């Protein structure tokens, strides 16, 4: 029998329905995910109403699956941790309402978790990441740099002023009629041409630790027009049959992204001496090329690099349950009026 605190984590902020069970003594006992990606891919991006409906359909089943996988019953759960912000309002509402109902009916404590805090500490689930560390969080919705001093003690030191890095991958992929999400497809295409920098896209002129990926996206679009690959009037990609051209664009984009990340991390380390490690998290951190680039960068700087396994990089409830665990230890419980705003 489990003697320690058991946390049930729930994640429904976007297009993944996740339920996880975390035990302080044994770590993650279950991290179940129903990915809606294929259903949204059909529309070329996330449809908020569809996301909410699918969360509603799956949340109960996923909870049962997680409990079964962990080999625990609902009565053994001490606390329910749920993503309460930020995210799609309708999608968040499903997770939070479900968590509240469960907490009320089963007499459990409840904790609202910030989705980004989940990402920031996601590498700590499997690794002993030393504090303070700099965390580069890059996903479809966020591109941020954090200075992390301890569990729950972190500060935003840089953020995107427009698009997120993953969004740039998704949008460029869409322009080239490639499937959603764009990141994995771009990586595959770039790999086939050895990650060469064919077109040398602009690295952006953002000063300081902030990012801007909207300019990069626009400059790639105009570069496509210049090369006769895109017609602005009809919004049509004209090189559907030219695999090499698509590989060149994908590869140049990825190398450019690697350069931008390196430049910002170098500045972050310079501005924050004493940092012990770098953590690379979020959906984009699944990218093996970017991991290799940042590993080489970290080696050069004589600093440790950590990244979660892919399942903990993309949206998941494991990271929410993990944060819920230390917030419970810090007695930071929420009330029944937990809100998504
Ligand atoms: O963290 P995540 O699952 O959801 C958000 O919170 O947004 O991240 C999804 C993003 C998408 O933009 C997707 O294109 C990107 O992560 N992504 C990748 C890779 N796998 C997913 N980007 C680059 N390379 C990958 N292998
Ligand atoms: Zn996320």
Distance 86 CA to ligand 2 centre (A): 9
Residue nearest (by alpha carbon) to ligand 1 atom 10: 140
For the residues 323-332, what does the mean pLDDT come to?
97
Could you tell me the pLDDT band of residue 2, with boundaries at 50, 70 and 90?
very low
Distance 46 CA to ligand 1 centre (A): 13
Residue 37: predicted pLDDT: 81
| DSSP codes joined into one string, 173-234 | HHHTTPPSSHHHHHHHHHHTTTT--SS--------TT-B--HHHHHHHHHHHHHTT-EETTT
9 contacts 320 by C-beta, under 8 angstroms = yes
From the list 326, 321, 336, the residue with the least C-alpha distance to 66 is: 321
Which of 119-123, 212-216, 224-228 bottoms out in mean pLDDT, i.e. has the lowest? 212-216
Helix axes 48-70 and 89-106, enclosed angle (nearest 10): 40
Separation CA 41–CA 58 (nearest Å): 18
Which of 38-52, 104-118, 210-224 bottoms out in mean pLDDT, i.e. has the lowest? 38-52
Residue 1: predicted pLDDT: 47
**Is a pLDDT exceeding 80 seen at residue 201?**
yes
| DSSP codes joined into one string, 67-91 | HHHHT--GGG--EEEEEEESS-HHH
Residue 90: predicted pLDDT: 95
* Beta strand 277-281 pairing with 6-11: unpaired
Q: For residue 18, what are its two tokens?
A: 């996740």
Which atom of ligand 1 has the smallest separation from the CA of 170?
A: 14
Residue 60: predicted pLDDT: 97
Separation CA 159–CA 127 (nearest Å): 25
The pTM for the full model equals: 0.94
Q: For residue 278, what are its two tokens?
A: 């770098």
Separation CA 22–CA 34 (nearest Å): 18
Give the closest ligand to the alpha carbon of residue 116. Answer: 2
288 contacts 237 by C-beta, under 8 angstroms = no
117 contacts 86 by C-beta, under 8 angstroms = no
Residue 3: predicted pLDDT: 57
What is the overall mean pLDDT for the chain?
95
Distance 18 CA to ligand 2 centre (A): 12
Separation CA 278–CA 301 (nearest Å): 11
Give the closest ligand to the alpha carbon of residue 51. Answer: 1
Distance 247 CA to ligand 2 centre (A): 27
**Is a pLDDT exceeding 60 seen at residue 333?**
yes
Which atom of ligand 1 has the smallest separation from the CA of 165?
A: 12
For the residues 45-72, what does the mean pLDDT come to?
93
pLDDT > 90: percent of the chain: 87
- What is the tens place of the pLDDT at every residue in 257-299? 999 999 999 999 999 999 999 999 999 999 999 999 999 999 9
Residue 46: predicted pLDDT: 80
Which of 34-48, 97-111, 129-143, 271-285 bottoms out in mean pLDDT, i.e. has the lowest? 34-48
**Is a pLDDT exceeding 80 seen at residue 160?**
yes
Distance 141 CA to ligand 1 centre (A): 9
Separation CA 21–CA 67 (nearest Å): 7
Q: Please enumerate in sequence order all residues whose Cβ is within 8 A of that of 278, keeping only pairs 6 or more positions apart, or say none.
A: 133, 134, 135, 136, 265, 269, 294, 298, 303, 304, 305, 306
Instruction: Show the ligand 1 pocket: residues with CB < 6 angstroms.
Output: 14, 139-141, 166, 169-170, 181-184, 187, 282-284, 286-287, 314-315
Residue at token pair 């909410």 = 52
- What is the dihedral angle through the alpha carbons of 132, 138, 139, 140, rounded to the nearest 10 degrees? 140
Residue 53 exposed, middle or buried by CB count within 10 Å (0-12, 13-18, 19+): middle
- What is the tens place of the pLDDT at every residue in 12-28? 999 899 999 999 999 99
Separation CA 258–CA 285 (nearest Å): 11
């Amino acid at each position: 029998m489990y003697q320690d605190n058991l946390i049930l984590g729930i994640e429904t902020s976007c297009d993944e329905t996740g339920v996880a069970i975390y035990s302080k003594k044994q770590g993650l006992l279950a991290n179940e995910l129903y990915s809606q990606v294929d259903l949204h891919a059909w529309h070329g991006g996330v449809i908020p109403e569809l996301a909410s409906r699918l969360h509603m359909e799956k949340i109960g089943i996923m909870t049962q699956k997680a409990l079964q996988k962990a080999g625990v019953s609902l009565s053994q759960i001490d606390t329910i941790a749920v993503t309460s912000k930020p995210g799609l309002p309708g999608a968040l509402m499903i997770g939070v309402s479900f968590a509240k109902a469960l907490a009320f009916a089963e007499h459990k404590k409840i904790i609202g978790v910030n989705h980004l805090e989940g990402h920031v500490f996601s590498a700590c689930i499997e690794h002993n990441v030393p504090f303070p560390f700099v965390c580069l969080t890059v996903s479809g919705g966020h591109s941020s740099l954090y200075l992390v001093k301890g569990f729950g003690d972190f500060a935003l030191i840089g953020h995107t002023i427009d698009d997120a890095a993953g969004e740039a991958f998704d949008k460029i992929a869409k322009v080239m009629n490639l499937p959603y999400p764009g990141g994995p497809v771009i990586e595959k295409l770039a790999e086939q041409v050895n990650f060469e920098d064919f077109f040398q896209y602009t690295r952006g002129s953002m000063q300081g630790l902030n990012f801007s990926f909207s300019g990069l996206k626009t400059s790639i679009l105009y570069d496509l027009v210049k090369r006769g690959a895109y017609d602005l009037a009809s919004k049509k990609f004209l090189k559907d049959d030219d695999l090499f051209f698509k590989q060149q664009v994908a590869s140049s984009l990825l190398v450019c992204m690697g350069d931008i990340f390196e430049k910002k991390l170098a500045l972050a380390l310079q501005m924050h001496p004493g940092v012990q490690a770098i953590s690379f998290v979020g959906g984009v951190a699944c990218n093996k090329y970017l991991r290799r680039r940042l590993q080489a960068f970290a080696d050069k700087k004589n600093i440790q690099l950590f990244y979660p396994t892919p399942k903990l990089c993309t949206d998941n409830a494991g990271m929410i349950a993990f944060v819920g665990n230390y917030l419970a230890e810090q007695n930071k419980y929420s009330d029944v009026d937990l809100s998504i705003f």
